[in-house]
Amino acid sequence: MTDIIKKTEDFVFQLFKKELPNTFLYHNFTHTKRVLKSTKEIIENSNISTEQSTILQLAALLHDTGYTKTREGHEEESVKIATEFLNEHQVDQNIIDAVNDCIMATKFKDAPQNELAKIIRDADASHFGKSYFNEASEFLRKELELQEVRTYSPSEWLEENIDVLSQRHQFYTDYALKSWQTQKEDNLADLIQTKKKEKKRHQKEKMKAELKAKAKDDSPERAIQSFYRTALRNHINLSDIADTKANILLSVNAIIISLMLSTLFAKFDNPANQFLITPTIILMLSSIASMILSIIATRPNITSGEFTKEDVENRKVNLTFFGNFHKMKLEDFEWAINELLKDKDYVYSSLTKDLYFLGKVLDRKYRILRVTYTVFMIGMIVSVCAFAISFKFTPHAKLEEVLKPENTSFNSIQPTTIDASENFYV
């Protein structure tokens, strides 16, 4: 009997090697050896005869040989191959029939009818109660995919395995129930835990997708917010630029006026310097006008700083501008802000008003600044021309006296001896 088992093993190995397609990643000789090992494991822990042991081992070796012919109905093909091979080796017909019965008992959908059928069924499905279950299961999934039987996604295959282990499979022999059932339950628990993790992951991905979709739907809203933010920032920057320009004009004209007061006005007590009065006055007036206009451009307006509840309820007050609430009590202002934030349209309306009135302020500032620079420019040109004309029509002798270095001294004035014909002193 041992001899026929060895010959059968060699036969199956050569048969699979020559005729079994490479797409059989699970139902191959490795699986056959595992089934044979599990069969021997049950046999060693069961009370069966030597002949029954031989039948089971032969069935374990030959039960998947039909895959070399077809996938559907491979059990029937395995019976044909087993019958032909065993007859060639003159195995008793009763053993052949028993082997064929065991092969047919491996059909997963049928319940085993006798002890031998229970043993071969448990051995064929022993991987459910083994630590290598996940590895074997993945090989079976890939086999079904490569042979275009069915393509399972990881989540679908997880559901399929949970269904098989929890509903459609059971061990029949006492040994399998004692030795493999615990590992099977652990494998099932791992599958369920994996399913829970997958469910959580899918929920997170779904939430991310929903948030992404929501963000996409809210993109006009974000664009609106970006518009207001950019427009208000630009208006504030332009206001700062206008104030800087006004400050420059104030500083320059203040320096000009200081120089005129300390230099030119000191010369007016001399009648000979009267020709400087007109251009000096022109320069002084243009500088004063420029300073006044610069101050007007930067001068803030005073607002009431108060509002009523009716103003808020009727959306008549712009709470984004401090001038509308600086005199209000804190609790009234907080209430008004809460009312504002409840209404998105009111918020946008307030921002629009703030943007509009900032634009009006900018328009006023830049118009006054334009006039200021024009006045300053014209004043400088006219003053320079006036000084040039005054110097041109001033007698040469008088001009030399005016331009003498001592005449520009602010610390001392020394008397000078002059010709009797001269009628002025420096």
Average model confidence (pLDDT) across the chain: 83
pLDDT over 70 percentage in the chain: 89
User: Which band of pLDDT confidence, cut at 50, 70 and 90, is reported for residue 1?
Assistant: low
For residue 284, what pLDDT is reported? 86
Residues 235/236/241/244 CA torsion (nearest 10 deg) = 150
User: Which band of pLDDT confidence, cut at 50, 70 and 90, is reported for residue 388?
Assistant: confident
- Indicate the residue type of 334: E
Looking at per-residue pLDDT, the higher value among 292 and 423 belongs to 292
* Helix 115-124 / helix 50-62 crossing angle, nearest 10 deg: 40
Q: Is it the case that residue 398 has pLDDT exceeding 60?
A: no
What confidence tens digit (pLDDT) does each residue in 6-24 have?
999 999 999 999 999 999 9
Q: What is the mean pLDDT of residues 49-78?
A: 92
For residue 276, what pLDDT is reported? 77
CA distance linking residue 103 with residue 59, whole number of Å: 6
**Of 83-97, 342-356, 369-383, which range is least confident?**
342-356
Cβ(294)–Cβ(372) below 8 Å? yes
Looking at per-residue pLDDT, the higher value among 368 and 346 belongs to 368
DSSP-H helix ranges across 91-218: 93-105, 115-124, 133-146, 154-163, 174-179, 181-217
For residue 404, what pLDDT is reported? 55
Q: Is it the case that residue 177 has pLDDT exceeding 90?
A: yes
User: Which band of pLDDT confidence, cut at 50, 70 and 90, is reported for residue 327?
Assistant: confident
CA distance linking residue 225 with residue 307, whole number of Å: 26
CA distance linking residue 190 with residue 184, whole number of Å: 10
What is the number of helices (H) and of strands (E) in the chain? 16, 0
Q: What is the mean pLDDT of residues 128-151?
A: 91
- Cα–Cα separations (whole angstroms), residue 58 to 66, 72, 85, 124, 138: 14, 22, 11, 13, 27
Q: Is it the case that residue 217 has pLDDT exceeding 60?
A: no
CA torsion sign for 97, 99, 102, 103 is negative
Cβ(312)–Cβ(339) below 8 Å? yes
Instruction: Find the angle CA(52)-CA(58)-CA(62) to the nearest 5 degrees.
Output: 145
DSSP-H helix ranges across 20-124: 29-44, 50-62, 74-88, 93-105, 115-124
Residues 6+ apart with CB under 8 A from 95: 51, 54, 55, 58, 86
For residue 235, what pLDDT is reported? 82
Looking at per-residue pLDDT, the higher value among 354 and 89 belongs to 89
What confidence tens digit (pLDDT) does each residue in 20-48 have?
999 999 999 999 999 999 999 999 998 98
CA torsion sign for 224, 225, 230, 233 is positive
Nearest alpha carbon to residue 336 among 322, 354, 357, 353 = 322
- Indicate the residue type of 225: Q
User: Which band of pLDDT confidence, cut at 50, 70 and 90, is reported for residue 301?
Assistant: confident
Residues 256-288 as b or e (16 or more Cβ within 10 Å = b): bbeebeeebebbeeeebbebbeebbebbbebbe
Q: Is it the case that residue 61 has pLDDT exceeding 90?
A: yes
Q: Is it the case that residue 316 has pLDDT exceeding 80?
A: no
For 227, what's the count of Cα atoms within 13 Å in the CB-facing half-sphere? 10
User: Which band of pLDDT confidence, cut at 50, 70 and 90, is reported for residue 267?
Assistant: confident
For residue 394, what pLDDT is reported? 67
Looking at per-residue pLDDT, the higher value among 390 and 134 belongs to 134
**Of 127-136, 150-159, 397-406, which range is least confident?**
397-406
